[in-house]
């Protein structure tokens, strides 16, 4: 049985855990979990302005355990303990996930294909898949990871599920954010060989 999301977020607020706030356009901003209220969770972030009603995905990690969830921005300019107005109230928590966004297996493939060397699975440690959508995917690796992908750099990505031909798509690093001990990447998909097959794969991976 998984942990209680509210209890986990309360612990994150007590410890002022850092988090990544991913927007639907692929941009990301670093924040901090400040408190849990009856109406939602208050984060602080000064690196990007958000709008009420905006949908976001949150990624955070405590004691080596990653958590992701979707939410909507309820209110901006929320007062926070440091007396700034950088607070962000988010609510309507959905798709709470502990661990990576998908499990590895012969029937699931999410790999980055470096110019040299073997493929890097985003479904196996030390990588952590955060989300995969029609427009792109986000993942986290430790700071000590052997490869660093430069912002705007081109990448090839291999995606697959059981019963469907594997797709190799072209992408580029849309955003890159560094946390205390990790790097978060968002890859934007640029070219898709077969859009219909690709859509089926993404739908299967997102489940």
- Hey, is 96 helix, strand or coil? strand
What pLDDT sits at residue 65?
86
> How far apart are the C-alpha atoms of 6 and 22, rounded to whole Å?
20
What pLDDT sits at residue 84?
64
Do the beta carbons of residue 183 and residue 176 sit within 8 Å?
yes
Q: What is the CATH number of domain 108-206?
A: 2.40.10.220
What residue ranges of the chain have pLDDT lower than 70? 1-2, 82-85, 100-106
> How far apart are the C-alpha atoms of 119 and 100, rounded to whole Å?
18
Q: Where in the chain is the domain with CATH 2.40.10.220?
A: 5-98, 108-206
Write down the architecture of domain 5-98 according to CATH.
Beta Barrel (2.40)
- The set of long-range contacts for 135-138, using a CB threshold of 8 Å and a minimum separation of 24, is 135/26, 135/188, 135/189, 136/26, 136/171, 136/174, 136/186, 136/187, 136/188, 136/189, 137/110, 137/171, 137/186, 137/187, 137/189, 138/22, 138/28, 138/57, 138/59, 138/184, 138/185, 138/186, 138/187
What pLDDT sits at residue 1?
46
What pLDDT sits at residue 9?
96
Residues 6+ apart with CB under 8 A from 125: none
What pLDDT sits at residue 63?
87
């Amino acid at each position: 049985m998984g942990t209680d999301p509210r209890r986990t977020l309360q612990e994150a607020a007590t410890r002022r855990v850092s988090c990544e706030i991913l927007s639907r356009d692929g941009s990301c901003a670093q924040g901090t979990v400040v408190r849990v209220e009856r109406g939602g969770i208050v984060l602080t972030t000064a690196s990007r302005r958000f709008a009420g009603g905006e949908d976001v995905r949150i990624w955070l990690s405590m004691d080596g355990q990653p958590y992701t969830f979707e939410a909507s921005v309820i209110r901006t300019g929320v007062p926070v303990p440091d007396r700034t107005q950088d607070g962000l109230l988010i609510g309507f928590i959905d798709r709470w996930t502990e661990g990576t966004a998908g499990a590895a297996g012969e029937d699931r493939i999410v790999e980055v294909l470096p110019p040299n060397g073997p493929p890097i699975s985003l479904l196996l440690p030390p990588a952590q898949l955060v989300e995969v959508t029609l427009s792109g995917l986000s993942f986290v690796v430790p700071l000590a990871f052997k490869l660093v992908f430069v912002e705007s750099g081109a990448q090839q990505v291999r995606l697959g599920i059981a019963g469907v031909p594997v797709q190799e798509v072209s992408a580029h690093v849309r955003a890159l954010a560094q946390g205390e001990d990790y790097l978060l990447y968002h890859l934007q998909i640029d070219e898709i060989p077969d859009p219909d097959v690709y859509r089926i794969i993404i739908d299967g991976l997102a489940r």
